[in-house]
């Protein structure tokens, strides 16, 4: 298992937690050097790194030229190899992490890209650099900071939408369950462990897989349907579809129940708006949780 996060980052993570405590441990996401001015509904925000303006933040709704009729959230589970995504309509694919390998040979124009874990950036920055200028990029605070450390010029000419963790938001102390319940856009389970944001612009719930975050953005775009491709979960300890023996670390196995619980809530809330949520992986853990399996993109035998 390979992480590729620099040792210095691991040291910073430990030091920040020891110095600031659990409530502000997430300061390590932007320390040192990153300063964000968040976007508003009608104005772009800014990304500064070590005092230099290196990019801009935009809102998820303004970033889209038009709302998609259907959204396919494409992960990098092994089942992707069994799918024929050339059948995907136009620019409907929201690519997660390693699904970037599908661009441009299979998916010529993605709807957006989403990266939440900075370890992916450290390990696959050459792949990240293939993202075309103008493409909508949903990026977490730590991912933006990691990109700045590697090549701050990359952020220019790209539409960056912030994935801000509503439990541990940028510039604010960690929120407890009582604080979360006061937010008008937040939906929580009875025990407060599972959540959904009806306004991803204000923050989203993270749950161990960027698919959970991407799904909250997708629901906010109000398509007719949302499909999951390569969101397997059940076999996350196996190599991703583009890996061989050099497998990167994944925390999905340990977080599987939390991820599935969040996606089940997402499906329920999407249904309130008439949005159908479909699973296109025959081996996904979602099959047994009421999602079933839709073979629309299955490769012909």
How many residues does the structure list for the chain? 301
Mean pLDDT by 10 residues, the chain (301 residues): 76 95 96 96 94 94 86 96 88 94 93 97 96 94 98 94 98 98 98 97 96 97 96 70 54 84 98 97 94 92 68
Give the residue extent of every domain in the chain. Answer: 33-289
Which overall architecture, per CATH, does domain 33-289 show?
Alpha-Beta Complex (3.90)
* Chain centroid offset of residue 100 CA: 13
Structure token digits, residue 240: 């991703």
* Phi (first) and psi of residue 132, to 5 degrees: -70, 150
Q: Which pLDDT score, from 0 to 100, does residue 1 have?
A: 43
pLDDT of residue 8: 92
Helix orientation angle between 252-272 and 210-220, rounded to the nearest 10 degrees: 10
pLDDT at position 63: 83
Residue 255 in tokens:
């977080």
Calpha distance 197→177 (Å, rounded): 14
Bridge-partner residues for 34, per DSSP? Answer: 49
Q: At what angle do helices 118-128 and 141-151 cross, to 10 degrees?
A: 50
Give the pLDDT confidence score for residue 247 in this predicted structure: 53
pTM of the model: 0.92
């Amino acid at each position: 298992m390979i992480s590729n996060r620099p040792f210095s980052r691991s040291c910073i993570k430990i030091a920040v937690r020891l110095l600031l405590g659990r409530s502000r441990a997430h300061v390590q996401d932007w320390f040192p050097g990153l300063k964000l001015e968040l976007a508003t509904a009608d104005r772009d925000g800014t990304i500064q790194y070590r005092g230099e303006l290196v990019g801009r933040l935009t809102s998820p709704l303004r970033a889209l030229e038009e709302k998609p009729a259907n959204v396919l959230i494409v992960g990098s589970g092994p089942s992707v190899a069994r799918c024929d995504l050339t059948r995907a309509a136009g620019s409907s694919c929201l690519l997660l992490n390693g699904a970037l390998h599908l661009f441009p040979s299979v998916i010529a124009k993605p709807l957006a890209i989403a990266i939440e874990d900075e370890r992916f950036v450290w390990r696959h920055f050459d792949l990240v650099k293939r993202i075309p200028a103008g493409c909508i990029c949903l990026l977490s605070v730590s991912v933006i900071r990691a990109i700045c450390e590697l090549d701050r010029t990359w952020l220019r000419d790209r539409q960056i939408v912030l994935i801000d963790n509503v439990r541990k938001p940028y510039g604010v102390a960690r929120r407890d369950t009582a604080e979360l319940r006061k937010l008008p856009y937040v939906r929580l389970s009875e025990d407060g462990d599972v959540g959904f944001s009806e306004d991803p612009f204000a923050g989203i719930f993270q749950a161990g897989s960027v698919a959970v975050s991407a799904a909250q953005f997708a629901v906010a775009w109000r398509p007719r349907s949302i499909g999951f491709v390569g969101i397997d979960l059940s076999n996350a300890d196996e190599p991703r579809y583009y890996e061989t023996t050099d497998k990167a670390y994944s925390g999905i196995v340990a977080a599987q129940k939390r991820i599935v619980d969040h996606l089940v809530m997402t499906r329920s809330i999407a249904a309130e708006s008439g949005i159908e949520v479909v699973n296109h992986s025959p081996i996904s853990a979602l099959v047994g949780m009421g999602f079933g399996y839709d073979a629309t993109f299955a490769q012909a035998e």
